Chains A and B, each alone.
Chain A
Amino acid sequence: MSGTQGITGFQLLWWVILPYLALTTFVIGHVWRYRYDQFGWTSRSTELQEKKLLKWGSPIFHYATFGAIAGHVIGILIPESWTHAVGIPENYYHWFSAAAGTAAAVGIVVGIGFLAYRRLFVPRVRATTSAVDWLTLILLAIVIALGIAETVGVNLLGSAYDYRQSVALWFRGLFVANPDVRAIANAPLLYQVHATAAWAILIVWPFSRLVHAWSYPVWYLWRPFVVYRSRVAAHPNEPGTSGRRWRSIGTRY
């Protein structure tokens, strides 16, 4: 690990151990949930209860979220040197990211406004909300609020902090086992809390309704319309003989 000098134990814990813990939970949690809780794996739609507000809230929120996720991929995962190499000037990049980011931010705010309103104030929807739902939604709200403060407050209107030279280096470093702890430790508090809440979401993700995001059924586009299943087709393997599957003890066929 490069340059561990001058890093406190707390910083190590917070900016290295916590992220790895979160990533591990994220991966193992998903594997576990997928294996053991197929029945709970759903978008948990509340459209049956309320659809007038959902009509606006859900599509706007989701499309804007995809925009924001794309923005993170471009801004954090793609190194600045690459965009320079293909000849995109820093100034140009900055304005593009600020404008697109602001558009996504507005979408997310509007979308989540509708969604939060119905979840809080429409009794039928509110009654469906489980504890893990509340936790997920609160964490999402925190990440989103801070993310918007960064995009609009700092990047568009403020002093334009160059996160690509700091936060991004630390983040990418995590994936090559070489995180630049000092970069994040010296970043403004706004960015630090945003990043921390994001790790928290990753920890909660596999245990919440957010798993629905992985089930986007693209292959619907080319499968036959009417699905037939034979009563005999899914002859299950004896436990332990298939090699590819493992199942909980006590599950019988």
Chain B
Amino acid sequence: MRIMAQVCMVMNIDKCIGCHTCSVTCKQTWTNRPGTEYVYFNNVETKPGLGYPARYEDQEQWKGGWELDRKGRLRLRGGSRLRRLASIFYNPDLPTIDEYHDPFTYDYDRLITAPAGTKSPSVSARSALTGRDMVPSWGANWEDDLAGAPARALHDPNIEAMSEKVKLDFESVFMFYLPRICEHCLNPSCVASCPSGAMYKREEDGIVLVDQDRCRGWRFCVSGCPYKKVYFNHRTGKAEKCTLCFPRIEAGLPTICSETCPGRLRYLGLMLYDADAVMAAAATPDAEDLYEAQRDVFLDPNDPEVAAAAEAQGIPHDWVVAAQRSPTYALIMRHRVALPLHPEYRTMPMVWYIPPLSPVADAATAVGYEENADVIFGAIDTLRIPLEYLANLFTAGRISPVRDALRRLALVRTVMRANQLGQHPDVDLSDVGLTEDDAEDLFRLLAIARYEDRYVIPPAHAEQAGRLLAQHAQTGCSLDTDGGPGMGGTEDDGSGVESFHLNRRDSDDVAVAGRDATGRLHLLVNETPATGGAL
């Protein structure tokens, strides 16, 4: 048994109001610069819908993640290593910018400098790739609140995977928001696809990163990730991805997207897992068993043997304690309300989701029922469309784990509500495998948990500080170019974990003429900003 620790996120979908604050703050922090205009490390999709990039979930087309060969062994869907090296000159599985969206801006100057007159001045969209006028026709959030759903939503791969009958019932419409970031997978196919070895998983906390100095732009990580959460910076020619805000995590702070979420729907905590068991679990023959298989890989930090073994294998004591307090462990393992996104990709994703009860509860209340357990149970079972849809998202199609999670959520709601009203509900929590304590704990976690309960993140160890800085320089350097926020560690005072200061450098202090703010050269960056009309 090789015990490793991983920072894990759980999102409670029911609480997502689709405000996109997470996307915006992440963008401001990490991708607000030329070359990454189209990139959203965090995006919020309306489901059902095609998603971003369009139809990324269709692995028949994009060939992301892993599959089993005829002998049941794990292999990359994108083909063998040899095939990748032979097709390095052209990657057949890469989406183009049109699947994400042609990024655009406006010539705001024209609004300000227009001469006085009777007509209001107007501007049209301008492509950030070419500097030319363009008509936007798709975007990261084109389908917000089911916009265009009649034409498109039926092409959602999760809908297409449903039985014929269900398709026709689509009039009984439902929707919810799905915020997505990199899954920081236990078995990351992006890392496995990178021929240069530039991508890696950090041993200490499992964060998956791209070494900007070793990336050679072969762009196989982009197609290798089934969630399409590695992006190609079209100015630097290098891959970039969600960093899980590692400078913050190292300091014991939650990620930007979690911190700024008004719905407070995100949880961050440690999971201990058996690294030796990952490969076998990922190769589970029946995809529907993958959810349980991944749960089996996680270790119980409260088990004294596990705790002792973890410390013996070098995991610091405070990390083991943090793992014991982990809210993600409670939601995934103890209460079984959180589910993985698309376990059938076999990457063992580590951002899990509490499925939304609202499509079901809404439907039940819409027809005039009280929100009580029996009715909701009935509704959960009869509303097969959302249920099957959710199962396609979270359990490779197996209905029971989704139904059980929803029942638990419904029952906790009913019980707590009755308690508030001084009633004595006639429900049996053991129906759904909960105790009174569990219900109380689940209520506390889902409804009233405070900052320090939602985010249990042990800081990186100070004795590693000087060494951490070297890594900041490797991954952060692209952020220093092209108007990046200037995270670069090289000018730092050397104090390590404290190395991120929000205001440490004016972000206007940017790269000019291919030389970034640290004085590093980048010969291949085109000096003329594309938006300035490169042509």
Q: Judge whether A220 and B470 touch: CB under 8 Å.
A: no
Q: Judge whether B524 and A227 touch: CB under 8 Å.
A: no
Q: Counting CB contacts under 8 A, is B338 at the interface?
A: no
A232: B residues at CB distance < 8 A:
464, 467
Q: Counting CB contacts under 8 A, is A130 at the interface?
A: yes
B residues contacting the other copy or chain, number (CB 8 A): 74
B521: A residues at CB distance < 8 A:
36-37, 40
Q: Judge whether A234 and B90 touch: CB under 8 Å.
A: no
Residue of A whose beta carbon sits closest to that of B531 = A127
Q: Judge whether A45 and B219 touch: CB under 8 Å.
A: yes
Q: Judge whether A51 and B90 touch: CB under 8 Å.
A: yes
Q: Encode B484-498 as 1/0 by CB contact (under 8 A) with A.
A: 000000111010000
A63: B residues at CB distance < 8 A:
89
Q: Judge whether B195 and A217 touch: CB under 8 Å.
A: yes
Q: Counting CB contacts under 8 A, is B526 at the interface?
A: yes
Q: Judge whether B81 and A231 touch: CB under 8 Å.
A: no
B522: A residues at CB distance < 8 A:
37, 39-40
* Cβ 8 A contact of B217, one of A45, A227, A233, A236: A45
Q: Counting CB contacts under 8 A, is A164 at the interface?
A: no
Q: Counting CB contacts under 8 A, is A44 at the interface?
A: yes
* Cβ 8 A contact of B202, one of A62, A216, A230: A230
Q: Judge whether A42 and B215 touch: CB under 8 Å.
A: yes
Provide the bound-state CA to CA distance between A229 and B521, in Å: 26
* Cβ 8 A contact of B213, one of A39, A59, A61, A129: A39
Residue of B whose beta carbon sits closest to that of A54 = B90
| Closest beta carbon of chain A to B188's beta carbon, Å | 6
Q: Judge whether B203 and A230 touch: CB under 8 Å.
A: yes
* Cβ 8 A contact of A33, one of B218, B237, B523: B523
A44: B residues at CB distance < 8 A:
217, 237, 524
Q: Judge whether A51 and B202 touch: CB under 8 Å.
A: no
* Cβ 8 A contact of A229, one of B81, B196, B203: B203
Residue of B whose beta carbon sits closest to that of A223 = B197
B534: A residues at CB distance < 8 A:
126-127
| Closest beta carbon of chain A to B120's beta carbon, Å | 30
Q: Counting CB contacts under 8 A, is A82 at the interface?
A: no
**Interface segment, one of B124-132, B164-172, B357-365:** B124-132
| Closest beta carbon of chain A to B7's beta carbon, Å | 13
Q: Counting CB contacts under 8 A, is A123 at the interface?
A: yes
**Provided the pairs A40-B523, A55-B90, A221-B81 are in contact, do residues A253 and B466 lie with their beta carbons within 8 angstroms?**
yes
Provide the bound-state CA to CA distance between A119 and B366, in Å: 57
Q: Counting CB contacts under 8 A, is A215 at the interface?
A: yes
Provide the bound-state CA to CA distance between A126 and B95, in Å: 19
Q: Counting CB contacts under 8 A, is B525 at the interface?
A: yes
**Pair count A-B, CB < 8 A:** 186
* Cβ 8 A contact of B535, one of A61, A123, A219: A123
Q: Judge whether A236 and B130 touch: CB under 8 Å.
A: no
Q: Counting CB contacts under 8 A, is A49 at the interface?
A: yes
| Closest beta carbon of chain A to B407's beta carbon, Å | 36
In A192-228, the 8 Å CB interface with B consists of 207-209, 212, 215-221, 223, 225-228
* Cβ 8 A contact of A220, one of B187, B195, B200, B238: B195
Q: Counting CB contacts under 8 A, is A58 at the interface?
A: yes
Q: Judge whether A229 and B232 touch: CB under 8 Å.
A: no
| Closest beta carbon of chain A to B475's beta carbon, Å | 11
B89: A residues at CB distance < 8 A:
58-59, 61-63
B202: A residues at CB distance < 8 A:
228-231
A127: B residues at CB distance < 8 A:
129-131, 526, 530, 534-535
* Cβ 8 A contact of A252, one of B88, B94, B235, B490: B490
Provide the bound-state CA to CA distance between A207 and B523, in Å: 7
B127: A residues at CB distance < 8 A:
124
* Cβ 8 A contact of B470, one of A54, A124, A133, A236: A236
Residue of B whose beta carbon sits closest to that of A62 = B89
Residue of A whose beta carbon sits closest to that of B533 = A127
Q: Encode A19-58 as 1/0 by CB contact (under 8 A) with B.
A: 0000000000000010011111111111111110011001
Q: Counting CB contacts under 8 A, is B91 at the interface?
A: yes
**Provided the pairs A226-B191, A231-B204, A231-B471 are in contact, do residues A45 and B494 lie with their beta carbons within 8 angstroms?**
no
Q: Judge whether B526 and A130 touch: CB under 8 Å.
A: yes
Residue of A whose beta carbon sits closest to that of B232 = A48
Residue of A whose beta carbon sits closest to that of B481 = A39
| Closest beta carbon of chain A to B394's beta carbon, Å | 24
* Cβ 8 A contact of B234, one of A62, A123, A128: A128
Q: Counting CB contacts under 8 A, is A132 at the interface?
A: yes
Q: Counting CB contacts under 8 A, is B354 at the interface?
A: no
Q: Judge whether B470 and A48 touch: CB under 8 Å.
A: no
Residue of B whose beta carbon sits closest to that of A226 = B191
B526: A residues at CB distance < 8 A:
127-130
Provide the bound-state CA to CA distance between A219 and B216, in Å: 14
Q: Judge whether A47 and B91 touch: CB under 8 Å.
A: yes
Q: Judge whether B90 and A58 touch: CB under 8 Å.
A: yes
* Cβ 8 A contact of B90, one of A39, A41, A47, A236: A47
In B440-469, the 8 Å CB interface with A consists of 460, 464, 466-469
Provide the bound-state CA to CA distance between A45 and B222, in Å: 12
Q: Judge whether A251 and B535 touch: CB under 8 Å.
A: no
Q: Counting CB contacts under 8 A, is B334 at the interface?
A: no
* Cβ 8 A contact of B219, one of A47, A219, A229: A47
Q: Counting CB contacts under 8 A, is A235 at the interface?
A: yes
| Closest beta carbon of chain A to B501's beta carbon, Å | 16
Q: Counting CB contacts under 8 A, is A87 at the interface?
A: no
Q: Judge whether B467 and A234 touch: CB under 8 Å.
A: yes
Q: Counting CB contacts under 8 A, is B82 at the interface?
A: yes
Q: A209-B524, A218-B85 are in contact. List 15 more A-B contacts (CB 8 A).
A: A33-B523, A37-B523, A43-B218, A47-B91, A47-B94, A55-B92, A62-B89, A123-B130, A127-B530, A128-B235, A212-B217, A225-B192, A227-B194, A227-B201, A229-B202
Query: Nearest 5 CB-CB pairs, A to B?
Result: A42-B217, A38-B213, A44-B237, A217-B195, A225-B192
Q: List 21 A-B contacts (CB under 8 A).
A: A39-B478, A42-B217, A47-B94, A51-B90, A51-B94, A55-B90, A123-B129, A123-B132, A126-B130, A127-B131, A127-B530, A130-B527, A215-B196, A223-B197, A226-B188, A228-B203, A231-B202, A231-B467, A235-B467, A252-B491, A253-B466
